[in-house]
Amino acid sequence: MKKPKLLIVEDDEDLRTQMRWAMAEDYEVLLAEDRQSALSIVKKERPAVVTLDLGLPPSPAGVEEGFATLDDIMSEHGHAKIIIITGRGEKEHALRAIGKGAYDFFYKPIQLDELKVVLRRTFYVSQLEREQRVLQERLSKATFEGMLGSCQKMQDIFSVIRKVSTTDVPVLIMGESGTGKELVARAIHRLSARQENPFIVINCGAIPENLLESELFGHEKGAFTGAHIQRKGRFEMAAGGTLFLDEIGELPLSLQVKLLRFLQEKVIERVGGREQIEVDTRVIAATNRDLKESMKDGSFRDDLYFRLSVISMFLPALREREGDIVLLAKAFLERYTEENRKKINGFTNQAIEAIEQYAWPGNVRELENRIKRAVIMTAGKKITPVDLEMEAPQQKYESMSLKEARDAIEKELLVKALNRNRGNMTKAAMELGVSRPTLYDLMEKFEIPRNE
């Protein structure tokens, strides 16, 4: 690993040599004896930290040449941390230097052990600030309409968003839960000519079937028990804007017909009404289901699928977004550290390793929630795997007997397979390499309820 660069600006040759030998083990030490040589080194080497004696030639008995050197270094390399070396009777000079942008000051005669402590702290702060600048630079390049992604797959998604936002055609967004489908829909709306009009969201899987039709299309007064007034549905509420139909794969077949009619004719009928109402609403739909499989088993209409998917987008899972996981983690850490007013300096190396190796089945949403919880719960200065509830597997099982550890691993793998396959016993059994009867036996053993 390369040593950090330290520039010592000192006109006393003996003191320069003494400081160089004392610091050479920890730093790449650069030496200058006057303003010209110091500025030349700063331009070429960009040292993180500079120690600066104010008494420099051609006026070593004064301080103005030292202040001029300070000004020149700050102008050339504003991120450098400059430590002023001054006599104890010259505190006013030290304070003046701090006012000009110096980071700290150190009194003569120099005690090398004390100076080493000051330098370690200064380099640590410099490293933190450098990491923050790098992160901010990456964020500025990778941020798009509230989304973050520097990998090629996400850059391609951003490109598609820019193109489809200029049209009014329906868009189908596919991807696992937690990949940011609603964020994509909102980005399309914000970049479109409809941006000043409503963006209305409805989750087709969260509303009971007997209420969903009224929610979508509205109802007339007296259409059913409790319908005391006429009520507009989400299509009309989104007039002139965008309607986002989340979990479109859960839409009942009876309502798929009405949605198809709207996409074809741009008209709706309220529940209990006969009037055909023209509505100018753009539809964006999203699903985490495989709609082609749903078409095969008859739970989703072919004609509706082709109407919705004039433009289709597939959002990559977080584990497929090379380079984005740590970038997102640091961005979430910065957000929630500031939000909760906590002084957290980053992640431990073990935490970064755990974040990179984890599969993230819940995608960006899971990553965000884990980091938010870690920021709230931690008492340390850095986030650890324990804070993230991501201890190494061996740590989880160290206190168990062999049988207990084997059972714990079996149960964990079983639950994960069932979750990945949305409770489909046949697919889970195939994935685990066991028969359905064996799967049922294991579920009974571990008291996992069946959802069939």
Tokens of 336: 């929630």
d(CA 357, CA 68): 51
Q: What amino acid occupies position 196?
A: E
Residue that terminates a domain, selected from 316, 338, 355: 316
d(CA 351, CA 382): 9
| Distance (Å) of CA 79 to CA 32, 46, 305, 335 | 19, 9, 55, 23
Pairing mode of beta strands 81-87, 104-108: parallel
Task: Specify whether 264 is located in the same domain as 245.
Answer: yes
* Confidence (pLDDT) at 273: 83
One-character DSSP codes across 251-277: S-HHHHHHHHHHHHHSEE--BT----E
What CATH number is associated with residue 122? 3.40.50.2300
| Phi, psi dihedrals of residue 110, rounded to the nearest 5° | -75, 125
* Confidence (pLDDT) at 86: 83
d(CA 406, CA 268): 57
Sequence-distant (6+) residues with CB within 8 A of 275 are 269
Task: Specify whether 296 is located in the same domain as 422.
Answer: no
Domain assignment present for residue 452? The answer is no
Domain assignment present for residue 49? The answer is yes
Task: Specify whether 196 is located in the same domain as 299.
Answer: yes
HSE-up (13 A, CA, CB side) for residue 57: 10
Tokens of 72: 């020149």
What CATH number is associated with residue 273? 3.40.50.300
What CATH number is associated with residue 426? 1.10.10
Task: Specify whether 58 is located in the same domain as 195.
Answer: no
Per the structure, how many domains does the chain have?
4
Domain assignment present for residue 265? The answer is yes
Domain assignment present for residue 144? The answer is no
* Confidence (pLDDT) at 69: 94
Task: Specify whether 158 is located in the same domain as 279.
Answer: yes
Residue that terminates a domain, selected from 107, 139, 171: 139
* Confidence (pLDDT) at 421: 78
* Confidence (pLDDT) at 91: 82
SS3 content of the chain, % helix, strand, coil (to 5): 50, 15, 35
Domain assignment present for residue 186? The answer is yes
Tokens of 185: 């829909």
Cβ-based burial of 433 (10 A; exposed 0-12, middle 13-18, buried ≥19) = exposed
Q: Which domain holds residue 367?
A: 319-391
* 297, 146 contact by CB (below 8 A): no
Alpha helices in 77-151 (DSSP H): 91-100, 112-142
* Confidence (pLDDT) at 250: 92
Task: Specify whether 217 is located in the same domain as 307.
Answer: yes
To which H or E segment does residue 349 belong? helix 349-357
Domain assignment present for residue 204? The answer is yes
Task: Specify whether 85 is located in the same domain as 214.
Answer: no
Place of tokens 């990559």: 316
* 123, 82 contact by CB (below 8 A): no
Task: Specify whether 96 is located in the same domain as 40.
Answer: yes
C-alpha dihedral, 114 to 4 to 10 to 121, nearest 10°: -30
Residue that terminates a domain, selected from 139, 161, 185: 139
Task: Specify whether 165 is located in the same domain as 282.
Answer: yes
* Confidence (pLDDT) at 411: 84
Task: Specify whether 239 is located in the same domain as 160.
Answer: yes
C-alpha dihedral, 209 to 215 to 217 to 222, nearest 10°: 90
* Confidence (pLDDT) at 139: 57
One-character DSSP codes across 188-247: HHHTSTTTTS-EEEEETTTS-HHHHHHHHH-B-TTSSTT--S-B--HHHHTTTSEEEEET
Task: Specify whether 428 is located in the same domain as 356.
Answer: no
What CATH number is associated with residue 374? 1.10.8.60
Domain assignment present for residue 145? The answer is no
* 255, 301 contact by CB (below 8 A): no
Task: Specify whether 22 is located in the same domain as 60.
Answer: yes
What does each of the 452 residues of the chain score in pLDDT, given as a tens digit?
689 999 999 998 899 999 999 999 999 999 999 999 999 999 999 999 999 998 898 988 888 999 999 999 999 999 999 999 887 677 888 889 999 999 999 888 888 999 999 999 999 999 888 877 776 666 566 678 888 888 899 999 999 999 999 999 999 999 998 999 999 999 999 999 999 999 999 999 889 888 899 999 988 887 777 778 888 999 999 999 999 999 999 999 999 999 999 999 999 999 888 889 999 999 999 999 889 999 999 999 999 999 999 999 999 999 999 889 998 999 999 999 999 999 898 999 899 988 988 888 889 999 999 999 999 999 899 999 989 988 655 556 666 777 787 788 788 888 888 887 777 888 888 878 777 778 888 888 888 887 65
Domain assignment present for residue 343? The answer is yes
* Confidence (pLDDT) at 210: 81
